[in-house]
Structure 1
Amino acid sequence: MRAVREALASLGFDMDRYHQESFTAEPAHAEDVPEDVVPDEQNQAEIAFAISGITAKCNETDSILAAAKALGLVIPSGCTMGICGTCKVRKTEGQVHMVHNGGITDEDVENGYILACCSKPLGRVSVEA
């Protein structure tokens, strides 16, 4: 954006007519996990996809969405970065480490929802998918 401003100014553009907006995502934060618990690649996890009736074993560092895709299960998704909220699913059991970028409300989290793209299972987890 700085380069565009400088180019316009050097070309004699009336900078009073220039408008710029800058957006940033909310700072990432962990939800639904004790502060000292983080996913470990050495630890195995298990995800039960309740609606599909399929259970998968994976590493704690694998996202719920990645595990679903590996099984051929479809969880709608968009950005895969925790921004759009398309992959929101209800967690019915267990704990996840979820670091999102604003794609889910605190109220949804309180009601048991997670974003599959940025939620990593800690132990056994069950989701409605």
Structure 2
Amino acid sequence: QGMFNQLMLGLMTPDYLEREVFCCGPEPFMQAVREALAGFGFDMDHYHQESFQAPAAKEEDIPELEDTVPDEGAMAEIVFAASGVTGHFAETDTVLNAAKTSGLNIPSGCTFGVCGTCKIKKLSGEVHMVHNGGISEDDIEAGYILACCSNPIGRIEVEV
């Protein structure tokens, strides 16, 4: 019950990384599925989808997917402003793992984006965050992220 999320995915199909995924439904549902899979490093070549709308008559009528997902081969720069530490990490690394690798401590609990313990302020840049309710829309609009489920895209600066 509720919106599809990573926690549900892990509980319902623990072997999802070994599967072909076929998804059909309204776009918000399919986007939630894509984000959950991408957030766990699923090979999206094994993801297939069909929408509830009629197929496009012309190729130029096909809408672009607006998912921002970490690029497996791309590197990101994370500036931990309060600590004076800067590091380079794969975009597929989470901010929490990058902090730990850098010898920094961000308090965390569930690591699934549910509890909100790892909420930190993002000062600049873009992240791909797939959370499971551990942060409010107001906090996101105010610049907060959950470090456990946020992947850096390009260069970001956080208040850690």
Bin of the TM-score, shorter chain as denominator length: 0.7 to 0.9
1:62 to 93, 96, 99: 93
Q: Distance in 1 between matches of 2:103 and 2:90?
A: 18
Alpha-carbon RMSD across the aligned residues, in angstroms, is 1.6
Deviations 1:2-36 (A, max 9, x none): xxxxxxxxxxxxxxxxxxxxxx6743456xxx923
Listed as ranges, the gaps of 5+ residues in structure 2 are 6-31, 36-64
Count of residue correspondences? 103
Instruction: Please identify the structure whose Cα radius of gyration is greater.
Output: 1
Residue 41 of structure 1: how far off its partner (Å): 1.4
When residues 107 and 118 of structure 1 are mapped into structure 2, their CA distance, relative to the original with a 3 A threshold, is same
Q: Does 1:101 align with 2:156?
A: no
- SS of structure 2 residue aligned to 1:124: strand
2:78 matches 1:47: yes
Structure 2 letter corresponding to 1:110: E
Retained in 2: the 8 A contact 1:25–1:101?
no
Verify: 1:86 aligned to 2:117, yes or no.
yes
Q: Which has the higher helix share?
A: 2
Distance 1:123 1:25 in 2: 32
Change (3 A) 1:100 1:52: same
The corresponding residue for 1:123 is 154
Within 2, Cα distance between the matches of 1:100 and 1:51?
A: 25
Deviations 1:53-72 (A, max 9, x none): 10010000000000000011
TM-score (norm 1): 0.75
1:44-102 deviation digits (Å, cap 9, x = unpaired) = 00000000010010000000000000011000000000000000000000000000000
- Please tell me the residue identity of whatever aligns with 1:58: F
Q: Which residue of the partner structure matches residue 108 of structure 2?
A: 77
CA distance in 2, matches of 1:121, 1:49: 12
User: % of aligned pairs identical?
Assistant: 59
| Unmatched tracts of structure 1, length 5 or more | 1-23
- Structure 1 segments of 4 or more deviating over 4 A? none
Question: Where does residue 4 of structure 2 map in the other structure?
Answer: 27
**1:5 maps to which residue?**
none
Pairing partner for 1:112 from 143, 146, 151: 143
Q: Normalized against structure 2, the TM-score is what?
A: 0.61
